[in-house]
Amino acid sequence: MFNLEFVVERETAIRQLQLQIEYGADIAIQDNPIDRFEESKRLAAKPKSSEAPQRASPASAAPAATSTTGPARSYPTKFLRPQRKAVIAANRLAGSAKTVEELREALEQFPHSRFREDARNMVFSDGSEDADVMIVGEAPGAREDELGKPFVGKSGQLLDNMFAEIGLSRFDDDLGPLYISNVVNWRPPGNMTPQQIDIDMFKPFIRRHIKLIAPRILVPLGNPACEAILGKSGITKLRGHWYEYDNISARPSYHPAYLLRRPDLKRESWQDLLAIKQRLREIGKDS
Ligand code: URA
């Protein structure tokens, strides 16, 4: 016999799941769901102690994630304490890499990033190591995590189209060469924005990466990349200008994921692309 109740329940569950996917919940972080409403009721009912210093629970110690698409992930406190040890290890590992391949291997050995345990693949780079232009993004998303390559999702398509317009491409085609990497090499769950602790520990790697590629022009896309490379953030003000980083010209610009949400800003982004093309022409590297 046909069990109508089961069919309705199943369809409701599928609808709810689809809704969660639309909201950006694309991985299961815990086997058992946490009822945050119950948790906040419980915390509100707890008597407040004004004297004793409170010990932060792992969940409350998590930095506010500026997640654009998914739920914040709670991390054990070991990942959230000052990351001195991690930064020292990152500097040592990155500094010892003499080639791009050695840098990739050094990163593979780096155990300290909180994002490693949820990620499927490390995402290192794509394109030609001989490129004059190196793009630095933020962190891999779901598709990049699946394929182990940067910028292969929707924002990557936009990025490829944008740079093709000024004659550059990461692919082995007729256009000039392009090299692409990210500040963070493992996908932050729910696409949360990497926080300062993450940027601090990945900074030695991306800076070494830039040194080894030695491009003529660097393009940091969005705030985490500007923070890691230029030590500044505030992309709206930073873009539109040239900066000097380790004798390399840097032209910050909007991240393509942001442009997908704010297509009205493509015009400004186009101005940055034209400035890059012009600079390549000036240094005799225009293809
Ligand atoms: N966004 C990034 O910053 N990097 C990627 O690789 C993909 C999306």
Which DSSP string do the residues of 223-267 spell out, in sequence order? HHHHHHHHS---HHHHTTS-EEETTEEE--B--HHHHHH-GGGHH
Q: Which atom of ligand 1 is nearest to the CA of 150?
A: 6
Distance 9 CA to ligand 1 centre (A): 37
Is the pLDDT at 60 greater than 50? The verdict is: no
Distance 13 CA to ligand 1 centre (A): 31
* pLDDT for the residue numbered 122: 98
Average pLDDT over residues 262-276: 98
Average pLDDT over residues 65-93: 70
Indicate the DSSP class of residue 74: P
pLDDT tens across 24-55, in order? 555 555 555 656 566 556 666 655 444 333 33
Distance 151 CA to ligand 1 centre (A): 5
Strand partners for 245: 248
* pLDDT for the residue numbered 62: 33
Is the pLDDT at 188 greater than 80? The verdict is: yes
Question: pLDDT band at residue 267, thresholds of 50, 70 and 90?
Answer: very high
* pLDDT for the residue numbered 75: 73
Q: Tell me the best of 146, 160, 227, 255 to mutate to test the pocket of ligand 1, counting ligand atoms within 8 Å of each CB and taking the most.
A: 255
182 CB near ligand 1 (under 6 Å): yes
181 CB near ligand 1 (under 6 Å): no
Q: Which of 91, 86, 106, 118 is nearest to 196 (CA)?
A: 86
Distance 138 CA to ligand 1 centre (A): 6
- DSSP codes of every residue in 113-167: -TTGGG-SS---EEE-TT-SEEEEES---HHHHHHT-SS-SHHHHHHHHHHHTTT
pLDDT tens across 141-182, in order? 999 999 999 999 999 999 999 999 999 999 999 999 999 999
State the chain's mean pLDDT as an integer: 84
Global pTM reads 0.75
Distance CA 72, CA 65 (A): 6
Q: Phi first, then psi: what are they for 136, rounded to 5°?
A: -125, 115
pLDDT tens across 209-236, in order? 999 999 999 999 999 999 999 999 999 9
Distance CA 220, CA 181 (A): 10
Residues in the chain: 287
* pLDDT for the residue numbered 48: 47
| Three-state SS at 107 | helix
* pLDDT for the residue numbered 286: 79
* pLDDT for the residue numbered 67: 35
Determine which helix (DSSP H) or strand (DSSP E) holds 171, and give its type and residue range: none
Measuring CA to CA, how many Å separate 63 from each of 187, 190, 192, 237? 17, 14, 11, 25
186 CB near ligand 1 (under 6 Å): no
Distance 5 CA to ligand 1 centre (A): 43
* pLDDT for the residue numbered 83: 79
139 CB near ligand 1 (under 6 Å): yes
